[in-house]
Amino acid sequence: MALIKTVNGISPIFGEDCYLAENATIVGEVIMGDQCSVWFHTVIRGDVNSITIGNQTNIQDGAVIHCTYKTAKTTIGSRVSIGHNALVHGCTLEDDSLVGMGAIVMDGAVVQTGAMVAAGAVVLEGTIVESGFLYAGVPAKKIKPIDDKLKEMLKRISGNYIMYSGWFKA
């Protein structure tokens, strides 16, 4: 069972059919929708502000989700994929978006619906990652429109993680 902690009298709330890896840590004001998965060594810290996560979102191994005290909550939509070792901090990830492995998304940034942040990219504070585009680099810049192949990949990853989590719930 994952480490679930109450902070200042506020406990995480989970939707139905979620998978939480045994060594994931989820604390404080975290509200998670249905069919989400939180993988090994992931930390979701809603201790200093709120974290809201939609349905069918996967937060992969070693990711850290946090926020900033009184100024920047974290909002993550539905069918979002957050890659291994990504850092998502005080920002908004809209529905059907992807944050690649090892990427960093900082306070006040918005990754719009259907946008992708490449592996290793750093999305600086306040940056808007536009819907339908891939952003990459340090700092992250608009690279190219997302083609049909990448759009299909976004859908596939989200669905695959629901399937993968089923293997661990059996």
Does residue 170 surpass a pLDDT of 80? no
Which amino acid is located at 4 in the chain?
Answer: I
Looking at the 3D structure of the chain, how many domains does it have? 1
In tens, the pLDDT along 22-67 reads 999 999 999 999 999 999 999 999 999 999 999 999 999 999 999 9
- CB-hemisphere CA count at 13 Å for 102? 6
In tens, the pLDDT along 90-142 reads 999 999 999 999 999 999 999 999 999 999 999 999 999 999 999 999 999 99
Name the nearest CA neighbour of 20 among 98, 8, 5. Answer: 5
In tens, the pLDDT along 147-163 reads 999 999 999 999 999 99
Strands (E), the chain: 3-5, 13-14, 19-20, 25-32, 37-38, 43-53, 58-59, 64-66, 74-76, 81-82, 87-89, 92-93, 98-99, 104-105, 110-111, 116-117, 122-123, 128-129, 133-136, 141-145
Q: What is the CATH number of the domain that holds 144?
A: 2.160.10.10
Tokens 């661990």: give the residue: 168
Tokens 């004001």: give the residue: 29
Q: Which domain holds residue 115?
A: 3-169
What is residue 169's predicted lDDT score, i.e. its pLDDT?
84
What is residue 1's predicted lDDT score, i.e. its pLDDT?
85
